[in-house]
């Protein structure tokens, strides 16, 4: 059984989606925000939590908490992951992003898609590398932009897709880690 750590900064909706599929395997939740909803959700499930606020050595401090962890899932973690964490977990850090990468990397991707009047956006699960949303894509799901969409309605529909896509991508990553195809 794999041991998974989830890093998040927000409410924890993707964390909840992961819990439904990997509850026994998620053994730690770390946030950079002391009041983040993800921390309360993790505590409700009895999962140990930690807070590591920003700073130049954030990746090192997080790394020091990850003994025995096999896979890291970023779930709305709004910090750049850097070395030494990247080097310690090559192809073992996943991120969910609210666009069809490589389009709209960075923050508020759904707002960028609306502003550009594209017809389709979606979500992407990818491996984390040193760039911003540039790692190898594991899985994507399309979301059609409706004529009356607002940033809020589009984001909500993208999150529904994320909650389906992220667990499936984690399954694929774990299979690859264990030597499966």
For 79-132, what is each residue's pLDDT tens digit?
A: 999 999 999 999 999 999 999 999 999 989 999 999 999 999 999 999 999 999
Residue 133 has a pLDDT of: 95
Residue 180 has a pLDDT of: 72
Residue 178 has a pLDDT of: 87
Catalytic-labelled residue, pool 97, 126, 155, 163:
97
52 has pLDDT over 70: yes
Taking domain 4-177, whether its CATH number is 3.60.20.10 is answered by no
Give the separation between CA 140 and CA 165, rounded to whole angstroms.
Answer: 7
In terms of Cα–Cα distance, which of 20, 22, 51 is closest to 38?
Answer: 51
Give catalytic status of residue 126 as yes or no.
no
Cβ-based burial of 148 (10 A; exposed 0-12, middle 13-18, buried ≥19): exposed
pLDDT range class, residue 134, cuts 50, 70, 90: very high
> Across residues 10-23, what is the average pLDDT?
96
Q: Are 88 and 106 in contact (CB under 8 A)?
A: no
Question: Domain ranges in the chain?
Answer: 4-177
Write down the pTM of the prediction: 0.95
Q: DSSP label at 177? A: H
């Amino acid at each position: 059984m794999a041991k998974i750590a989830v890093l998040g900064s927000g409410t924890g909706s993707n964390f909840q989606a992961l819990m439904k599929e990997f509850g026994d395997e998620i053994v730690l939740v770390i946030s950079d925000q002391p009041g983040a909803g993800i921390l309360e959700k993790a505590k409700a499930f009895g999962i140990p939590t930690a807070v590591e606020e920003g700073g130049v050595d954030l990746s090192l401090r997080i790394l020091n908490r990850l003994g025995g962890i096999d896979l890291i899932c970023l779930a709305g973690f709004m910090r750049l992951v850097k070395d030494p964490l990247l080097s310690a977990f090559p192809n073992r850090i996943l991120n969910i992003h609210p666009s069809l990468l490589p389009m709209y990397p960075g923050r508020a991707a759904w707002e960028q898609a609306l502003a550009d009047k594209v017809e389709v956006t979606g979500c992407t699960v990818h491996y984390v590398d040193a760039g911003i949303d540039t790692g190898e894509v594991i899985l994507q799901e399309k979301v059609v932009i409706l004529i009356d969409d607002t940033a809020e309605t589009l984001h909500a529909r993208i999150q529904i897709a994320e909650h389906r896509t992220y667990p499936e991508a984690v399954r694929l990553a774990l299979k690859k880690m264990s030597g499966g195809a």
